Structure 1
Amino acid sequence: MVRVEDHISVPRSDAANNLNWALIAHAKADQVHNRIPQGWILDEEILANQANDITHVPDTCGLLSKREIIITSSEAKELADQLAAKVYTSYEVTLAFCKRAAIAHQLTGCLSEIFFDKALEAAKGIDEQYVQTGKPLGPLHGLPVSLKDHHRVEGTAAAIGYASLAFQETKAGHESEMTKIMRHLGAVLYCKTSVPVGMMSGETYNHITGYTPNPFNRSLSSGGSSGGEGALLAMRGSPLGVGSDIGGSLRIPASFCGLYTLKPSFGRFPAYGGVESFPGQEALRNVNGPMSHSLAAIEMWSKAVIDTEPWREADPDCLPIPWREVKLPQKLCFGFVRDDGVLRPSPSVSRALKLVIEALEAAGHTVVQVDLPGRYNINLYKGDLYLRQGAKVIRENLEVAGEPWPRGYDHLELISAPDEPPARVSDLWQACMIRTRFAHQVGKLWSATKDITGTGREIDALITPCTAWPACKRYEFGHDDYLSVWSQLDYCATVIPVTKVDQQLDAVQDIVTLNEVEASVWQDYRVEDYANAPVAVQLVARRLHEEHLLAVTKVCDEALRKVA
């Protein structure tokens, strides 16, 4: 049972003055917990005696059969093929993932909504229809798929972390277009996953589900804002999840939790009908994307969604670009960014970059260093692009139920204060103009790389850190410049897991810090704090080059696996 005290980040004396929000949060947490069948509840001893790494618990707790462990350990593409080949039924696969998701939630608080009963009913119907017709329902036939909380699903709330929205259920006919597309492709929807308040943090915590930790090391973050997806997938409680990204919200949890993801450019995948952090804001657009344990699953999902031609009816902002098959040259050239000139990455992240570069060179490809003009200073303008007015929207939603600001939201609370003037339209115009000017500079630089690649072409992709850390310690996320710059430029990006933190190799050496930001980070760095954390890199390609980027990412992934 989750206690209301676990969700309150202010002193009890202050919380007593806001019983409305606290009671709502407590009631919602109870509702989610009570939708777990009694036979799937973990023993108190298991809950109380956990090491930092809890990824093994589902396999050892005794609630899953051997067959269910095999099913939930399988990759999404493999499962989709086996479901189509009738190796498994959708019902048994869905049941296995429902059970594993229930275990994951009890350990991490990763679920915002549970509807296992409806999922099992839907899976049974899919199996019956398959027997009758002999035709798979679609490319995701019978495959369980989890959704980030902002996707509207009939009969569930899409609270995006606010107590005031915790019981506002989506009515029939009002589901998100992505939800509808998942059903159309044959997927079985069974749960939604937790997010930070307003989906505006690189960590996942709110007053309903509490803090969602990293299953590989519970003292670290699972990331945000798709952190519930990250934790659920890390626990193998889902084979494939759908999250979103406006400044790193897919890539942060994927990198922290050892997963693959694709952040598309705006307009490739439908977003219409989902709950937005700041409805109507168009300067920096939110994009939906997949998260999974394999790159094959990311490509499967991406092609399946685009093949529905979502630009026709699902989303008026989707671009009419069908799926494009890509044939790569035998030799590729990758650019890489060692650091952003402000905060150099930790030893484990630098080592991951080195491993990727060495693997690509061993496979016969070329890697060259690339520096961006002005580095990542474009991020100085993201406040005017969306944060200033967005913070006021968060304040308004919190005030509905008298909910306090969550821990770690100090900067948003400050810029949203009633005496702070609202963002002006002219400020937004100015920020957009600066962003466009920077995009023009980056485009010219990207084209100019053809002079140094040795292939006669510009770089095929750019390799960068995801963040300066493998995963941040709780409530310590900051400096998202490696990620958010590509959202502002609308370039597409993938994440590849590379390695894990090594206690010997990643111990900090003597370092001369370049600025106050580095000094504040490095003075507290201890490699043992990051034990067992996955380490990833980001690959970036030009705007709307998703198929090319996935193909190039596959080359990189295969090169890494050959030397692993």
Structure 2
Amino acid sequence: MPGTIHYSTTPFHDLHLALPKDIPPWKRIAQAKRASRDAAIPLEWRLHAHQVPQDRLNVIDVPVECGILTARELAMTEDDAVALVQKLVNREYSSYEVTLAFCKRAAIAQQLVNCLTEVFFERALEAAQRLDAEYAASDVTRGPLHGLPVSLKDCFHISGTDATIGYTALANQPTSHHEESEITRIMRESGAILFCKTNVPVALMAGETYNAIYGYTSNPYNRNLSSGGSSGGESALLALRGAPLGVGTDVGGSVRIPASFCGLYSLKPSFGRFPTYGLRDGLEGQEAVRNSVGPMARSLKAVELWSKAVVQSEPWISADHDCLPIPWRKVEVPQKLCFGILLDDRIVKPLPPVTRALLHTKAALEAAGHTVIEFCIVSRDEPLFIDSLKFALYRSAAAQLLGTTLARTQEPWPRGYAMLEAMVQKKILTTEELVNGPATVSDLWEAQAKRTEYAKRLQKAWTATKDRSGIGREMDALLMPCTPWPASPKYGFTYDNYTSLWNVLDYCATTVPVCNVSSVKDVKPEYQGRNEIEKKIWDDYSPEAVVGCPVSIQLVGRRLHEEYLLGVTKVCDGALRSVGGIPYWSDFKARKASEARC
């Protein structure tokens, strides 16, 4: 391997032997795992204590400022995934040097926001060298992701690494080659270089990212805020350009929430478009609301690149029997579109920056000649219907499964999981359980029947928009919030209905970054919360506490219409760029030149 990389000589693997005898198993495991990860970061790539003061909240530009990367490496890591692949194919860059650059930047990101779980830089560099040699000899590219470093969420099985999904009980159980996830295999066959895995909440069951092993993953735009969850390690890494492309999973918003908090593009597909076989799931066997795999990146082109690469591998043939045999479809997006818009779900009104982003997007679309109409997802007399339906579908045996797994290493219940803990200990029961006893299979069937009935109602309402769309057909996508926040405070995420509804109904959805929070434009108005959750979110809001953070919106499309939704999202993104210039997060120079803009 070219050059020499120096690693710490501290015997991290023996750390657990020096701990007190009475330390609980979970703490012993956690300390050893963290130490092992930290030891995988070369000494030359470590930040000095004085470089990033603890009170510096916005660290998005530290990788550029710290001096660890060369000018050429900075240029590589600032580039988009699609452009990088083209340069790799054209031999402007080698996969080795691109992988090395992203390993360095990922190491910096880890030190800033604590986003990584498994670090295997040396293996990645060896794989990149082999790919370069193979390409030099054959002149044939490996695949559509030829030589591109790609990061994966912790739940994907990669040989030789753990997939703890935040549990100490699942640590030190490295995946064997034949146990790898199908997405892992497809990434390699598509030419990607896998080099790290990213942090998640315990059992993937939270809208922000923290666990007893690796701790909390912060938002690089403000380290007092959340990077989202459950793919929060992935979003934080991508925001800091520690990877050009990343892969997460979404069963309630776990791709879209972190993407929105960190100013990224993403795609949550309908179940069956991309393979999920071989994932380590926090709720193994739960099929009432199916998990889906989706890409996250700094450009819509990169999201489409990954999506095409996966579908072109034809995963329905041998990778995953749940994958639908739908090849990638070329779609024609009409010149004039109609967007529905939802500004408030009548449970939690979004905070001022999110509402401003929605209205800004609406104005941009209308300026581009498109139509925007109001669309409701529930009637005025049933705002809590979705919340109760979602709980009935998700609840199965979640609490008991968490409790059993945590108990294996005496790990305490995570902060924010109090309700599930109380359910396990029988301190509280749901209203249905108080009346009818614990949930049964019949209860689940009843909930699924209600879901089917609601899906039909929403489908009819969506179809009926053709009568007021002004284009002679139904609306092309629904524009709405991802969450009430631009980014929630640490340990403050409490509401996911804006995203989880579309998992319940299995619609596809994308995220689009729009603007950044302004202390001038996003002042706090007088507002009386309609319920305790909304009241707390609004009482805690201060524009000064989130100023500068990205603000994103969500676009929802019909079930299994991923290609069309990406095309519509491209139109929306283009309209935003035409009225707002280059988004401030696009690159270092543009960001510095346009921080005051929306």
TM over 0.5: yes
- Correspondent of 1:385 among 359, 376, 393: 393
SS at match of 1:46: coil
Residue 101 of structure 1 aligns with which residue?
A: 106
- In 1, the alpha carbon distance for the partners of 2:487 and 2:385 equals 23
Letter in 1 for 2:500: S
Residue 289 of structure 2 aligns with which residue?
A: 284
**How far is 1:516 from its partner?**
3.5
**How far is 1:16 from its partner?**
9.7
- Correspondent of 1:152 among 135, 157, 161: 157
- In 1, the alpha carbon distance for the partners of 2:138 and 2:418 equals 57
Matched, 1:320 2:363: no
User: Map of 1:516-527 to 2, 5 A cutoff?
Assistant: 516-527=532-543
Aligned residues: 553
- In 1, the alpha carbon distance for the partners of 2:68 and 2:37 equals 19
**How far is 1:422 from its partner?**
5.0
- Correspondent of 1:402 among 394, 410, 413: 410
- In 1, the alpha carbon distance for the partners of 2:267 and 2:213 equals 28
- In 2, the alpha carbon distance for the partners of 1:50 and 1:64 equals 24
Deviations 1:37-65 (A, max 9, x none): 12111112225445100111111111110
Deviations 1:330-364 (A, max 9, x none): 11000010110011111100000011000000100
SS at match of 1:312: helix
- Structure 2, gaps ≥5 residues long: 1-7, 13-19, 430-436, 581-598
Would you say the 8 A contact 1:378–1:438 is kept in 2? no
- Correspondent of 1:86 among 86, 91, 94: 91
Residue 546 of structure 1 aligns with which residue?
A: 562
- Correspondent of 1:449 among 450, 453, 465: 465
SS at match of 2:552: strand
- In 1, the alpha carbon distance for the partners of 2:21 and 2:533 equals 37
**How far is 1:509 from its partner?**
1.5
- In 1, the alpha carbon distance for the partners of 2:303 and 2:371 equals 25
Which has the larger displacement, 116-125 or 523-532? Answer: 523-532
- In 2, the alpha carbon distance for the partners of 1:341 and 1:386 equals 22
Residue 128 of structure 1 aligns with which residue?
A: 133
- Correspondent of 2:423 among 415, 418, 424: 415
1:376/1:118 Cα in 2 relative to 1: closer, same or farther (>3 Å)?
Answer: farther
Which has the larger displacement, 148-157 or 409-418? Answer: 409-418
SS at match of 2:225: strand
- In 2, the alpha carbon distance for the partners of 1:344 and 1:249 equals 21
Residue 7 of structure 1 aligns with which residue?
A: none
- In 2, the alpha carbon distance for the partners of 1:507 and 1:16 equals 54
User: Map of 1:148-187 to 2, 5 A cutoff?
Assistant: 148-187=153-192
Matched, 1:215 2:183: no
**How far is 1:524 from its partner?**
2.4
Which has the larger displacement, 366-375 or 29-38? Answer: 366-375
Residue 24 of structure 2 aligns with which residue?
A: 19
- In 1, the alpha carbon distance for the partners of 2:224 and 2:293 equals 28
Would you say the 8 A contact 1:146–1:190 is kept in 2? yes
Would you say the 8 A contact 1:378–1:435 is kept in 2? no
1:548/1:16 Cα in 2 relative to 1: closer, same or farther (>3 Å)?
Answer: farther
- In 1, the alpha carbon distance for the partners of 2:414 and 2:529 equals 31
User: Map of 1:327-338 to 2, 5 A cutoff?
Assistant: 327-338=332-343
- In 1, the alpha carbon distance for the partners of 2:475 and 2:55 equals 46
1:514/1:50 Cα in 2 relative to 1: closer, same or farther (>3 Å)?
Answer: closer
Letter in 1 for 2:472: G
Would you say the 8 A contact 1:204–1:228 is kept in 2? yes
Residue 463 of structure 1 aligns with which residue?
A: 479
Residue 142 of structure 1 aligns with which residue?
A: 147
**How far is 1:108 from its partner?**
1.2
- In 2, the alpha carbon distance for the partners of 1:93 and 1:488 equals 39
Residue 12 of structure 1 aligns with which residue?
A: none
Would you say the 8 A contact 2:286–2:396 is kept in 1? no
- In 1, the alpha carbon distance for the partners of 2:439 and 2:87 equals 53
SS at match of 2:97: helix
- In 2, the alpha carbon distance for the partners of 1:414 and 1:340 equals 29
Which has the larger displacement, 291-300 or 519-528? Answer: 519-528
1:273/1:387 Cα in 2 relative to 1: closer, same or farther (>3 Å)?
Answer: same
- In 2, the alpha carbon distance for the partners of 1:345 and 1:17 equals 47
Matched, 1:556 2:572: yes
- In 2, the alpha carbon distance for the partners of 1:111 and 1:425 equals 38
User: TM-score normalized by structure 2?
Assistant: 0.90
Would you say the 8 A contact 2:63–2:109 is kept in 1? yes
- In 2, the alpha carbon distance for the partners of 1:393 and 1:331 equals 49
Would you say the 8 A contact 2:151–2:245 is kept in 1? yes
SS at match of 2:510: strand
Kindly report the root-mean-square deviation, in angstroms, between the aligned alpha carbons of the 2 structures.
1.7
Would you say the 8 A contact 2:494–2:533 is kept in 1? no
SS at match of 1:45: coil
- Structure 1, gaps ≥5 residues long: 5-14
Residue 519 of structure 2 aligns with which residue?
A: 503
Matched, 1:494 2:510: yes
Would you say the 8 A contact 2:119–2:196 is kept in 1? yes
Residue 8 of structure 1 aligns with which residue?
A: none
1:372/1:41 Cα in 2 relative to 1: closer, same or farther (>3 Å)?
Answer: same
Would you say the 8 A contact 1:259–1:496 is kept in 2? yes
SS at match of 1:156: coil
**How far is 1:388 from its partner?**
4.4
SS at match of 1:138: coil
How many percent of aligned residue pairs carry the same amino acid? 53
- In 1, the alpha carbon distance for the partners of 2:144 and 2:533 equals 47
Letter in 2 for 1:392: Q
- In 2, the alpha carbon distance for the partners of 1:418 and 1:204 equals 27
- Correspondent of 1:311 among 313, 316, 330: 316
SS at match of 2:395: helix
**How far is 1:17 from its partner?**
6.8
- In 2, the alpha carbon distance for the partners of 1:224 and 1:92 equals 31
- In 2, the alpha carbon distance for the partners of 1:373 and 1:344 equals 14
- Correspondent of 2:306 among 296, 301, 308: 301
- In 2, the alpha carbon distance for the partners of 1:522 and 1:383 equals 24
Deviations 1:156-185 (A, max 9, x none): 000000011121100121100000000000
- In 2, the alpha carbon distance for the partners of 1:21 and 1:167 equals 12
- Correspondent of 2:369 among 364, 370, 395: 364
- In 2, the alpha carbon distance for the partners of 1:294 and 1:249 equals 18
**How far is 1:18 from its partner?**
5.7
Letter in 1 for 2:25: N
Would you say the 8 A contact 1:389–1:416 is kept in 2? no
SS at match of 2:571: helix
- In 2, the alpha carbon distance for the partners of 1:358 and 1:377 equals 31
**How far is 1:222 from its partner?**
0.2
Residue 434 of structure 2 aligns with which residue?
A: none
- In 2, the alpha carbon distance for the partners of 1:17 and 1:416 equals 26
1:287/1:48 Cα in 2 relative to 1: closer, same or farther (>3 Å)?
Answer: same
Letter in 1 for 2:524: V
Residue 9 of structure 1 aligns with which residue?
A: none
User: TM-score normalized by structure 1?
Assistant: 0.96
Would you say the 8 A contact 2:390–2:501 is kept in 1? no
1:377/1:24 Cα in 2 relative to 1: closer, same or farther (>3 Å)?
Answer: same
SS at match of 2:248: strand
Letter in 2 for 1:195: V
Would you say the 8 A contact 1:76–1:239 is kept in 2? yes
**How far is 1:270 from its partner?**
0.2
